[in-house]
Amino acid sequence: MKVPYSWLKDYVKVNIQPERLAHFLTMTGTTVENVSKIGDDYIFEFEITANRSDCLSMIGVARETACILGKKLKIPKELQGTQNPKSKTQNFPIGITIKNPDLCLRYTARIIRNIEVSPSPEPLKKKIISSGLRPVNNIVDITNFVLLETGQPMHAFDLDKIEGDVAIRKARDGEKIITIDNVQRALNSDTLVVADSSGAIAIAGVMGGQSTEVTGMTKNILLESANFAPVSVRRTSRALGLSSESSYRFERKVDNQMVDKASGRASLLIRDLAKGEIGAFLDKGAKKSYSKTISFDIDASNDILGISVKKSEIHKTLKALGFGIKEKKGAIAVSVPSFRKDITQPVDITEEIARIHGYENFPTTIPQIVGNTTLKEDIYKFREKIRNTLASEGLYEIITYSLIARDDTAGISIKNPLSIDQEVMRSSLLPGALKVVSHNLNRKAKNIPVFEIGNVYKEKENAFLEEAHISIALSGLKRDDWKLHGEEYSFFDLKGIVENLFSELGLGSVAFNTEEIGPLAKSASASLEIDGKYAGFLGEVKDETLDTFDIKKKVFYGEINLKKLFDNARKFKKYASLSRYPSVERDISVIADRHVRSADIVSVIHRAGERLVKRILLVDCYTGRQIPSGKAGLLYRIEYRSQERTLEDSEVDALHAEIKSALSGELNISFR
Amino acid sequence: MKNEIQNIKKLFEEDLINAKDAASLEALRVKYLGRKGIIAVLMQKLPGVAKELKPKVGKELNLLKKDVEGKIKIAQSTVLKNAPQKADNIDITLPGTWKDGGKIHPLTKTLNEVNDIFISLGFKIAEGPEIEREFYNFEALNIPLEHPSRDAFDTFYIKEDVLLRSHTSTVQIRIMEKTNPPIQAIMPGRVYRPDAVDASHSFMFHQVEGLMVDKGIKFSDLKGVLNIFAKQMFGEKTKTRFRPSFFPFTEPSAEVDVSCIICKGKGCRVCSHTGWLEILGAGMVNPKVFEAVGYPAGKYTGLAFGMGVERIAMLKYGIDDIRLFFENDLRFLKQF
């Protein structure tokens, strides 16, 4: 909201520089975004928080100013006390009915006759313009002036264009109105309208209609000053995509007590500036009292703040802000002014005291640490461990959006997406990872080793699940420098990283099984099992998938369910004692059918040599001219060791021979 | 045989004098001690020696072998010590060839820093779901349906009553529903708002929420806790400024500024020449929130605060475009 400094000074005597005033206002909660000098005036731009509708007015800002400067607030006479000018409700020329008293809380109408519509005098025009509005004519300008001054929205109808009686009612589905901005708007039964016998003549609290608009020809007017329910105005304003100075204030609640006073203020101005004759007045829905009392305990308030604000200061602050105070035994009774709809409980009053006292004047204290043990943070630490392990493997952590474009994997849809790129919640981290690979390849990156830890989202039997996954993607050259040229990543680099991670996390029995996984190429696709349960997959991403991301390089990708790792990880590792005796190494060079898997060979060796085999290392793997077709040559190094004694050659030789015979017997393996 | 040993001994001494560098010493070692070297050949002859002489000759042969081994070793170490290592052996300015380092994402790093500060103050980490019910995102936090205070929290919906949380304050409610005070927790997490993406807006970002509830928690404690945080996060000389503000779930509420970390408060482009940067929203927990989670009225007070991780990371590293965090360009990631 814009407030001209010159206008503000109509209500409060200010004797400090505008910039200083702006600072004081900001530091007490009426935030000034900007002060700019325009001509010989200064314009304050306020950012008024949603709770402070009272500050959407000159008087509201002036009240704050008066309070912090310790000055008196000067309010025009007709806005104080009882209704002014006095007039009777009899002989009101048209019938006015509130059909929905829950949506129209109060409705006043005043007849003013024989007006002369003309441009406003310059001082009024200037006030309107410097507040950011557009001058129209003296009648409209006066309603806007009173709106800006008091925060009470108003509307003037051309009385002679109103047909029959007026009702404040819900619109009929399909009912139409052309608003004063010359746009035809279709209404529905959620919209509250002011209607005459011909139909809607205003959208209540939002905007007037063109058919009854005040023009240069207008002689007699009906001046509306009302209080419409915030929710109704907000809903209508949103549905129509139409926000106005009026709707903005109604949404934030206006002062019920200002309705008739503001009408009086406007009427007198119209009498003075447009020669109008003030006529009949009608006030529907008014309550006897709008005040509210809160019992307030100063000690309790000071306890919350951590400071002792003096009773005299509290009294002074509250009075300046328009509150009433009655002392009772122990506590005080604070009556809340009708314009402060945000004050509903004692702590709201505490805030008033605190902000005017100045937050910067409060001490800083250190609370006693109250930490509690019921909150578990193991999973958080576990994630940190995974991050650190993968980063130390040379991988870069990425963070990608959890909303992605719709793809063939079933994801949870967003009802109101902003764009088709963020339509569904990801059910896998793969699309995000491939996007990153693609982005970096396009920027000439040669080596792309990345990982992510993030949630994936699934809907299951009407419940929404969030599961943390780990993804790893490798693409391009593993190393490319002046010593080692252009070695590309392979499946086994990915597998090695996963194995190292699992070893770091102390995971028990992990199995890699050949299994076709949707986005992976048949030739290199594996599922991952921990203690016999599926925990993820890894392999080479298939070409069709890469094509959709326009990737021309191989990508090796793995995705693992973090919870499954967490559940199976050994929290405490156990140390195995080191043998004092030397080990003996024997190589074994096997020629096996292609379908025989390395894991099978290793498990036969382990079983046959159980007593002394401590470690089996694959040293070489080759196919080629020396090897018959359909076969593969594998060279294993077996380490034999005893915990109790030095091994004899003969004993190792014998066991080695046993292993060989087991291999040839069980797996049809020959030796080189 | 005995003579042969003596001759070899002499021959070795001469060879040893001539061997002046590592290569010739290695050649010498092979010549005498290699598998087919002179001493090995002599050893093979041992079975042919007369039985009574065998022990003596064997002993001498062993002595010879040890002598040769020892002298070569000494000569080798002397050569090593004396031979100046030539400076042009390697060009140590050639780039190192170890694999790339790997890095943690700057957002994670920033989040970890924030977390660590609060952990050191006794806070525990807690998390809550991103897919939430309206109650947790709004009503329980005193943000009524169809109220203008909701304008600040535009929200993605999945279906009626189910949404993507627009702030991490939801987790406050989740914790308090299940836990009785004392509570001292921080709640990091992902949040979503339907904002069009540009250099300073993202539809997805990260927040850290903080909550401390017990008997007798005061507004001055809030100032104390956040002062410590600001100093540890941005430097010992950092000042904080508390301004009154409005959040439906706190009362009193404050916006917290820190003295600009770029210009140290003098005024610059980053702080719009104010000298201050707004980084936190905070306040005392509104009694209506305690009511929503079923705490007895008037028994507890609490402090709460929240901050955006992206904003802090951007300030800390001088990053000018929020999109960089989610683009994951390796040239960007390698810098942290």
What Cα–Cα distance (Å) separates residue B300 from each residue in A70, A344, A653, B90, B289?
35, 19, 77, 71, 11
CB contact under 8 A, B218 and A303: yes
Segment A209-220 mean pLDDT: 95
Give the model's pLDDT for residue B84.
Answer: 61
Segment A189-206 mean pLDDT: 95
**Strands in A302-355 per DSSP E:** 324-327, 332-336
Q: Which residue has the tokens 């109250």?
A: A370
Q: What percent of chain B has pLDDT over 90?
A: 61
How many CB atoms are located within 10 Å of the residue A407 CB?
A: 16
The rounded distance, in Å, linking the Cα atoms of A13 and A74 is: 9
Residues of chain A contacting residue B228, judged by C-beta atoms under 8 Å apart: 366
The rounded distance, in Å, linking the Cα atoms of A527 and A375 is: 34
Longest dimension (CA), chain A: 127
* Residue in B92, B127, B251 to test binding to A, most A beta-carbons within 10 Å: B251
Longest dimension (CA), chain B: 116
Residues of chain B contacting residue A382, judged by C-beta atoms under 8 Å apart: none
How many CB atoms are located within 10 Å of the residue A260 CB?
A: 20
Whichever domain contains A663, its CATH number is 3.30.70.380
Per-residue pLDDT band at A227 (split at 50, 70, 90): very high
* Residue in A26, A347, A386 to test binding to B, most B beta-carbons within 10 Å: A347
Measure CB to CB from residue B328 to each of A391, A394, A436 and give the nearest one.
A436
The rounded distance, in Å, linking the Cα atoms of A379 and A382 is: 5
Write out pLDDT tens, residues A228-285: 999 999 999 988 999 999 999 999 999 999 999 999 999 999 999 999 999 999 999 9
**Together in a domain, A488 and A532:** yes
Please determine, for residue A569, whether its predicted confidence score (pLDDT) is greater than 90.
no
CB contact under 8 A, A374 and B284: no
The rounded distance, in Å, linking the Cα atoms of A448 and A475 is: 5
**Together in a domain, A522 and A399:** yes
Please determine, for residue A21, whether its predicted confidence score (pLDDT) is greater than 60.
yes
Instruction: Give the A:B interface size as CB pairs under 8 Å.
Output: 247
In a domain, A84, yes or no: no
Separation of CA A62 from chain center? 34
Segment B179-190 mean pLDDT: 94
Q: What secondary structure, in 3-state letters, does A52-71 show? A: CHHHCCHHHHHHHHHHHHCC
**Together in a domain, A167 and A229:** yes
CB contact under 8 A, B224 and A367: yes
Whichever domain contains A461, its CATH number is 3.30.930.10
Give the model's pLDDT for residue A82.
Answer: 63
CB contact under 8 A, B244 and A355: yes
* Residue in A359, A401, A403 to test binding to B, most B beta-carbons within 10 Å: A359
CB contact under 8 A, A359 and B151: no
Is the separation of the CB atoms in A215 and A117 below 8 Å? yes
Q: What percent of chain A has pLDDT over 70?
A: 97
* Residue in A27, A56, A377 to test binding to B, most B beta-carbons within 10 Å: A377
Burial B56-67 (b: 16+ CB within 10 A, else e): ebeebbeebbee
Low-confidence winner among A136-150, A437-451, A483-497, B226-240 (lowest mean pLDDT): A483-497
Closest approach of B26 to chain A, Cα-based (Å): 28
**Together in a domain, A507 and A601:** no
Tell me which amino acid residue A82 is. Answer: T
Residues of chain A contacting residue B245, judged by C-beta atoms under 8 Å apart: 29, 31, 49
* Residue in B146, B166, B299, B330 to test binding to A, most A beta-carbons within 10 Å: B330
CB contact under 8 A, B225 and A400: no
Please determine, for residue B85, whether its predicted confidence score (pLDDT) is greater than 60.
no
Give the model's pLDDT for residue A223.
Answer: 97
CB contact under 8 A, A372 and B182: yes
Write out pLDDT tens, residues B301-311: 999 999 999 99
Please determine, for residue A577, whether its predicted confidence score (pLDDT) is greater than 90.
no
CB contact under 8 A, B122 and A401: no
Per-residue pLDDT band at A375 (split at 50, 70, 90): low
Give the model's pLDDT for residue A123.
Answer: 95
**Together in a domain, A420 and A518:** yes
Token pair in block for residue A634: 């594998």
CB contact under 8 A, A347 and B105: no
- Nearest Cα neighbor of A443 from A473, A474, A472, A476 is A476
Nearest chain B residue (CA) to A345: B287
Segment B162-186 mean pLDDT: 95
**Together in a domain, A341 and A452:** no
CB contact under 8 A, A364 and B103: no
Fill in the DSSP letter of residue A319: H
Any idea how long chain A is?
Answer: 672
CB contact under 8 A, B130 and A365: no
Per-residue pLDDT band at A143 (split at 50, 70, 90): very high
Mean pLDDT of chain A: 92
How many CB atoms are located within 10 Å of the residue A550 CB?
A: 10
Tell me which amino acid residue B160 is. Answer: E
Give the model's pLDDT for residue B64.
Answer: 86
Residues of chain A contacting residue B230, judged by C-beta atoms under 8 Å apart: none
Residues of chain A contacting residue B131, judged by C-beta atoms under 8 Å apart: 412, 425, 457, 464, 466
Measure CB to CB from residue A374 to each of B122, B179, B225 and give the nearest one.
B179
Residues of chain B contacting residue A483, judged by C-beta atoms under 8 Å apart: 97
CB contact under 8 A, A415 and B242: no
Residues of chain A contacting residue B162, judged by C-beta atoms under 8 Å apart: 464
Torsion of CA A112, A116, A122, A128, to 10 degrees: 40
Highest mean pLDDT among A433-442, A459-468, A567-576: A433-442
In a domain, A663, yes or no: yes
Measure CB to CB from residue B146 to each of A231, A366, A422 and give the nearest one.
A231
Nearest chain B residue (CA) to A304: B218
Overall domain count for chain A: 5
Measure CB to CB from residue A304 to each of B146, B246, B301 and give the nearest one.
B301
Please determine, for residue B87, whether its predicted confidence score (pLDDT) is greater than 70.
no
Fill in the DSSP letter of residue B301: E
The residues pairing with A327 across neighbouring beta strands, listed in sequence order, are A332
CB contact under 8 A, B246 and A303: no
Separation of CA B244 from chain center? 36
Closest approach of B279 to chain A, Cα-based (Å): 16
**Together in a domain, A118 and A175:** yes
Per-residue pLDDT band at B77 (split at 50, 70, 90): confident
The rounded distance, in Å, linking the Cα atoms of A140 and A213 is: 10
Segment A606-628 mean pLDDT: 88
Domain boundary, last residue among A360, A391, A417: A360
Per-residue pLDDT band at B215 (split at 50, 70, 90): very high
Measure CB to CB from residue A367 to each of B203, B221, B251 and give the nearest one.
B221
The rounded distance, in Å, linking the Cα atoms of A310 and A88 is: 48
In a domain, A83, yes or no: no
The rounded distance, in Å, linking the Cα atoms of A38 and B9 is: 109
Per-residue pLDDT band at B88 (split at 50, 70, 90): low
In a domain, A541, yes or no: yes
Fill in the DSSP letter of residue B186: E
**Together in a domain, A347 and A401:** no
Write out pLDDT tens, residues A527-558: 999 988 999 999 999 999 999 999 999 999 99
Helix B38-45 crosses helix B2-18 at what angle (to 10 degrees)? 170
In a domain, A578, yes or no: no
Is the separation of the CB atoms in B265 and B239 below 8 Å? yes
The rounded distance, in Å, linking the Cα atoms of A336 and A333 is: 10
CB contact under 8 A, B203 and A418: yes
Please determine, for residue A571, whether its predicted confidence score (pLDDT) is greater than 80.
no
Give the model's pLDDT for residue A81.
Answer: 67
**Together in a domain, A396 and A468:** yes
Q: What secondary structure, in 3-state letters, does B63-106 show? A: HHHHHHHHHHHHHHHHHHHHCCCCCCCCCCCCCCCCCCCCECCH
Give the model's pLDDT for residue B3.
Answer: 81
CB contact under 8 A, B107 and A52: no
Q: Starting from the edge strand earliest in sequence, which strands make up the sheet with A2-4, in order?
A: A2-4, A41-47, A31-38
What Cα–Cα distance (Å) separates residue B21 from each residue in A349, B11, B18?
93, 18, 9
**Together in a domain, A177 and A231:** yes
Whichever domain contains A324, its CATH number is 3.30.56.10
Domain boundary, last residue among A328, A360, A392: A360
* Residue in B141, B219, B239, B335 to test binding to A, most A beta-carbons within 10 Å: B219
Domain boundary, last residue among A544, A568, A592: A568
**Together in a domain, A407 and A488:** yes
Give the model's pLDDT for residue A89.
Answer: 54
Low-confidence winner among A329-338, A424-433, B143-152 (lowest mean pLDDT): B143-152
Segment A407-423 mean pLDDT: 87
Closest approach of B66 to chain A, Cα-based (Å): 25
Q: Tell me, what's the ipTM?
A: 0.89
Residues of chain B contacting residue A366, judged by C-beta atoms under 8 Å apart: 221, 224-225, 228
Segment A16-42 mean pLDDT: 95
Fill in the DSSP letter of residue B298: T
How many CB atoms are located within 10 Å of the residue A486 CB?
A: 11
In a domain, A382, yes or no: yes
Per-residue pLDDT band at B203 (split at 50, 70, 90): very high
CB contact under 8 A, A479 and B99: yes
Q: What angle do CA B161, B162, B165 make, to 5 degrees?
A: 115
Closest approach of B17 to chain A, Cα-based (Å): 39
Give the model's pLDDT for residue B97.
Answer: 82
In a domain, A311, yes or no: yes
Please determine, for residue A410, whether its predicted confidence score (pLDDT) is greater than 80.
no
Per-residue pLDDT band at B59 (split at 50, 70, 90): confident
The rounded distance, in Å, linking the Cα atoms of A263 and A258 is: 8
Please determine, for residue A387, whether its predicted confidence score (pLDDT) is greater than 60.
yes
CB contact under 8 A, A399 and B325: yes
Helix B219-234 crosses helix A298-305 at what angle (to 10 degrees)? 10
Measure CB to CB from residue B97 to each of A29, A354, A484 and give the nearest one.
A484
Can you give the residue range of the structural domain that contains A146? 96-285
Write out pLDDT tens, residues A58-77: 999 999 999 999 999 999 98
Please determine, for residue B71, whether its predicted confidence score (pLDDT) is greater than 90.
no
CB contact under 8 A, B104 and A397: yes
Please determine, for residue B98, whether its predicted confidence score (pLDDT) is greater than 80.
no
Segment A593-610 mean pLDDT: 91
- Nearest Cα neighbor of A169 from A196, A140, A139 is A196
Q: In terms of pTM, does the model score above 0.90?
A: no
Q: What percent of chain A has pLDDT over 90?
A: 79
**Together in a domain, A105 and A248:** yes
Low-confidence winner among A19-28, A355-364, B53-62, B277-286 (lowest mean pLDDT): B53-62
Whichever domain contains A260, its CATH number is 3.50.40.10
- Nearest Cα neighbor of A149 from A133, A170, A173, A169 is A133
Give the model's pLDDT for residue A399.
Answer: 98
Torsion of CA A417, A418, A422, A424, to 10 degrees: 0
Tell me which amino acid residue A603 is. Answer: S
Per-residue pLDDT band at A86 (split at 50, 70, 90): low
Q: Is B198 left (phi over 0), alpha (psi -120 to 50) or beta?
A: beta
Segment A21-43 mean pLDDT: 95
Per-residue pLDDT band at A84 (split at 50, 70, 90): low
In a domain, A576, yes or no: no
